[in-house]
Amino acid sequence: MTSHVLSQLRSLEAESIHIIREVVAEMQRPVLLFSGGKDSIVMLHMAAKAFAPARIPFPIMHVDTGLNFQTVLDCRDRWVDRLGIQLVVASVQDAIDRGLVREEPNGSRNRIQTPVLLEAVEKNGFDAAFGGGRRDEEKARAKERVFSFRDDFGQWDPKNQRPEIWSLYNGRVHQGESIRVFPLSNWTELDIWSYIAAEQIDIPDLYLAQEREVVDRDGMLFAVNEFTPLKDGETSEIRSVRYRTVGDANLTAAVESEASTLEAIVEETAAVRITERGATRGDDKVSEAAMEDRKREGYF
């Protein structure tokens, strides 16, 4: 005898699967934007569930900043192999070499990813792109639709969003326009970790705590590696740390943690008092409205 109540995680999963299927049924050429981070992995995992026992009927695209942790790339390739899907790589380095974008003075390739992404979307004729954004991440996201319309410049206009009522999504677009789709809109960081633990999902080991050589810069702990070498006068130390996000390797900091298992991360996430972006992403600190501006430009 069951009570016919679906649990929190299974409800969220069902909603995401519904959204993913809806896009495939209605759009001409969807693609899943895959960063290698936990959110895009969870999204890919659910895409596989949505079409089982068939394969995922769309490719995934990685906007490769050239600043990747190797374990993230390894994990990406394991997923591609396991699911037998097509991987499209859009290279930021290549775009710099071609003069499409210019390197920013601070070394961040976060902002210059956007034109590279938009170019690849256009070149491949993608009319729908799944993104792993969650509304709990940040205030501008909290108001974005699940099916988020982009004009033919790839831009988001927060004042001109399509109303989204019930779960009746409208993905209709004209030639050149597209939609960004956020199947994880209603997930929180804790939901993501709980789901990864419940489903035993393969993620890069950077997310698990381990003793690593780190350097402390203004309270942010950076692992010492090819992307963030020790500067003159700095000293490193060995600490148990893990990553809460895996963005560009030269900008993503780790947090002190003993959580070396998925279950331990769930417990720790339930107790943390600081947002994942605030903790580890230097690039979001710029201004209160930073994310809103980047989204308007077409950032995912």
Report the 10 Å Cβ neighbour count for 217: 13
User: Residue from 12, 27, 112, 215 that binds another protein (CB under 8 A)?
Assistant: 12
Interaction of residue 260 with another protein, rule CB under 8 A: no
Gyration radius of the chain's alpha carbons: 19
> Measured from the CB atom, is 193 or 243 closer to another protein?
193
3-state secondary structure of 74: helix
Q: Which of 39, 64, 127, 136 binds another protein (CB under 8 A)?
A: 136
Task: Check: CB of residue 110 under 8 Å from CB of residue 286.
Answer: no
Residue 118 CB, shortest distance to another protein, in Å, is 20
Record the tokens describing residue 186, joined without a space: 């209603």
The pairs formed by 202-206 with CB atoms below 8 angstroms and a separation of 24 or more are 202/41, 202/75, 202/78, 202/79, 203/38, 203/41, 203/75, 204/36, 204/69, 204/71, 204/72, 204/74, 204/75, 204/246, 205/71, 206/69, 206/71, 206/72, 206/242, 206/243, 206/246
Minimum CB–partner distance for residue 246 and another protein (Å): 19
**Nearest CA-CA partner of 180 in 148, 138, 140:** 148
Distance from the Cα of residue 123 to its chain's centroid = 22
| Residues in CB range of 284: below 8 A, 6 or more apart | 138, 277, 278, 290, 291
> What 3-state DSSP class applies to 51?
helix
In the complex with another protein, which residue's Cβ is closer, 200 or 235?
A: 200
Which of 4, 231 has the CB closer to another protein? 4
Q: Which is nearer to another protein, 29 or 162 (CB)?
A: 162
Q: Which is nearer to another protein, 48 or 224 (CB)?
A: 48
Residue 9 touching another protein (CB under 8 A): yes
Binding residue for another protein, selected from 107, 125, 158, 176, defined by CB under 8 A: 158
Q: Does 185 bind another protein (CB under 8 A)?
A: yes
Question: Which bin fits 200, alpha (ψ -120 to 50), beta or left (φ > 0)?
Answer: left
Q: Is residue 292 part of the contact set for another protein (CB under 8 A)?
A: yes
Q: Quick check: 198 binds another protein (CB under 8 A)?
A: yes
Using rule CB under 8 A, residue 195 touches another protein: yes
Q: Out of 127, 191, 248, 283, name the contact with another protein by CB under 8 A.
A: 191
Q: Which stretch binds another protein (CB under 8 A): 13-21, 91-99, 204-212, 246-254?
A: 13-21
Decide: is 270 part of the binding site for another protein (CB under 8 A): yes
Site size for another protein, by CB under 8 A? 73
238 touches another protein (CB under 8 A) = no
- Contact flag: residue 174 with another protein (CB under 8 A): yes
Report the interhelical angle of 262-271 vs 189-199 (nearest 10°): 160
Q: Which stretch binds another protein (CB under 8 A): 65-73, 118-126, 243-251, 265-273?
A: 265-273
The verdict on 190 binding another protein (CB under 8 A) reads: yes
Q: Which residue has tokens 């010492």?
A: 224
Which residues, in sequence order, are bridge partners of residue 128?
A: 30, 179
Contact string 52-91 vs another protein (x = CB under 8 A): xxxx------------------------------------
